[in-house]
A = this chain, B = another copy of it.
Amino acid sequence: MNGVLRVAAGQCGAVPGDVQANLESVGRLTSDAAEAGADLLVLPEMILTGYGIGAEAVSRLAEPLDGPMLTRVGEIARDHGVALCLGHPERDGQDVYNSASFFDEHGERLTGGRKMHMFGDVDVEQFTRGDAVPAAARWRGTTVATAICYDIEFPETARALASAGAQLLCVPTANMVGFDVVSRLLVPARAAENQVFVVYANHTGTDPVFEYNGLSVVVGPDGQPLGTAGRGAEMVLADVDVEAIGAARAENDYLADRRSDLFG
């Protein structure tokens, strides 16, 4: 399988406010992903704490990137030899961000980023919005980058990441019942219009505020889903061959043909 990476979207729920329980769940899912031959496991937004848990709990549980919560995530990645991308609250002084981190299979945090687009009251009340486009990073012959939930619904986000060279977008999300259009339409469109891979990993079940709609999906650079989850807990596996990006761009190349002179 030269150059082919097996990716997993781990659709699961979080125990609201219980970091220890969620870290144990991350460990079990990473073990499952390793057994399934996965090179990378993407888990949902705010999976270490739960998403709709209120501003007080988010602020109390948020840690800097070098805090014990993410240190443990790096250890899990290293122990199982699987790269891990997931969402978590990030403290930076007085600010708390809705962040994603990408750890390689040696436990090193390669890249990540802060949610830029605030979804409704829940994001505004719980988080400071991020003001930087996440950085792309090289990982095993592929260029990866993160985006978070509502960010990927805006074509500007995926365009900026793909223009920076990203070939595999890892998207932790907490998408709710009533918004199936995101998994069915917008995420596949982001893959197709940039001719990249997208891994979109969602919550299932409920938390104190929301009911989540599942439908995690891995999409190829032609916009075709390589695997889609249902509504419940499930791990979606897909093989990602970055050579397919060149094939998709051979007939028409959106990044080359776009009018950056007109649209920036």
Contacts and interface: CB of A to CB of B under 8 A. Distances in A.
A208 interface: no
Q: Does more than half of chain A's interface fall in helix, strand or loop, or is it mixed?
A: helix
A183 to B, nearest CB: 12
Interface stretch (A13-21, A50-58, A152-160, A237-245): A152-160
A1 interface: no
Contacts of A159: 155-156
Contacts of A222: 181
Interface residues of A, number: 35
A185 B189 contact: yes
A65 to B, nearest CB: 21
Interface string A175-216: 000100100011011001100000000000000000000000
Interface stretch (A2-10, A227-235, A254-262): A254-262
Contact of A185 (B119, B157, B223, B259): B223
What is the total number of copies of this protein in its complex?
2
Given A154-B193, A159-B155, A186-B189, A258 B181 contact: no
A127 B254 CA distance: 19
Given A160-B263, A181-B192, A262-B131, A154 B254 contact: yes
A133 B262 CA distance: 8
Contact of A120 (B252, B262, B263): B252
Nearest to A190: B189
Contacts of A153: 193, 254
